[in-house]
Structure 1
């Protein structure tokens, strides 16, 4: 029942879910990672805000590209009879793993406005921190909020039907 009530049922709901999760994630994760990278200051935060729309576009593209492979991998890890929470946890873990690998490099290119090997060379230094921040935000903030919105929307839709 939780799958039916808390997850998207169609493409329109998937778009809403993606919009909620990606907007929350980008607005929390990118500034945090940037501040850990170059220092916490109002100027750093302002500079990050200017880059967020470009990072958001990259996030949406990567979500669309990694969604199917991540779902396939998650299904290999969990059994279809496992609980909703275990399936969601593994799904988030796999998605964040793939997204954080890609965005550790690409978001750095976007943020620095330069295409260099520096993010690749420092990947193993940066990625664990980026992964941990992203996993926390996805599991504790972004996805629970998006599932709550869908749940409330489904209650209203089902009441009308």
Structure 2
């Protein structure tokens, strides 16, 4: 439930203002690690949070995603696992490719804008990440993850 609500908030704010707010990302990180004290998985939450953040820091260093995306995925990692983050990242990459292609076709083909001006416009990656996270939740919660080789 917490993850789904965070997806709704992050996607909305990323589409609207191209930002994923710190109050969302920091609260996810702190609450995920805090909750892990009660279920005895503190180290798993901390490691998953750090690995998730590092995975997304690499594209952030090249300007491909924002730091809000990095912190958001670190927070999602604190609530879930490294396996979940990897599944979500793979799904978000496919969704991101489709999202970019659809936006490009829409702006160039339908809106008749020039490719040179459209290609430099930022696209909120939070939409793709949100789709990847929700698809990952579906896969994990329905047992389809047993079909994945990891």
Q: Structure 1 length as normaliser, TM-score? A: 0.33
> Which structure shows the higher helix fraction?
1
User: Could you say which structure has the greater relative contact order, defined with CA pairs below 8 angstroms and 6 or more residues apart?
Assistant: 1
